[in-house]
Amino acid sequence: AAAAAAMALADLYTQYNRVWIPDAEEVWQSAEITANYRPGDHILHLQLEDSTELDYPVDPSALPPLRNPDILVGENDLTALSYLHEPAVLHNLRVRFVESRLIYTYSGIILVAMNPYKELPIYGDAIIHAYSGQNMGDMDPHIFAVAEEAYKQMAR
């Protein structure tokens, strides 16, 4: 059964799919597969985002993590990602925080908060009222959504 699962996983390493490879500066770097991987191969043919071609050595039992499809980039709940691993989590948090300026992200019922090291206008009365009475997943991730959910659970 384990061998069949490994074969099925290897089938995902096809041309145009993307993977994450370790990087000394960025921690993880995205790369596109340029030739289908075949079980037993020890090289994965990749193209980095700067168009550099790379023959990346791989251990067939430890292929690099697959990258999520672009449609999931910036997802507000990490559990909605197709692939949930370190580079996927870090990339998603980076997109939400750096590009979209969103400090909160869910991971199921857990709220991940990035400290922006500055005051943000996301805690006023209008925001409190917006989250009041709402279900946790109905609005963007926020500490007020978690507080509202906790209050509703205690009131039961």
Per-residue pLDDT band for 106 (boundaries 50, 70, 90) equals very high
Per-residue pLDDT band for 64 (boundaries 50, 70, 90) equals very high
Q: What pLDDT score does 7 carry?
A: 62
The set of residues, in sequence order, having a beta carbon less than 8 Å from that of 77 and lying 6+ positions away, is 105, 106, 107, 108, 137, 141
Residues 80-96 have pLDDT tens digits of: 999 999 999 999 999 99
Q: Kindly report, as residue ranges, where domains of CATH 2.30.30 are found in the chain.
A: 1-57
CATH placement of domain 1-57: 2.30.30
Residue 131, classed as helix, strand or coil, is helix
What pTM did the predictor assign?
0.88
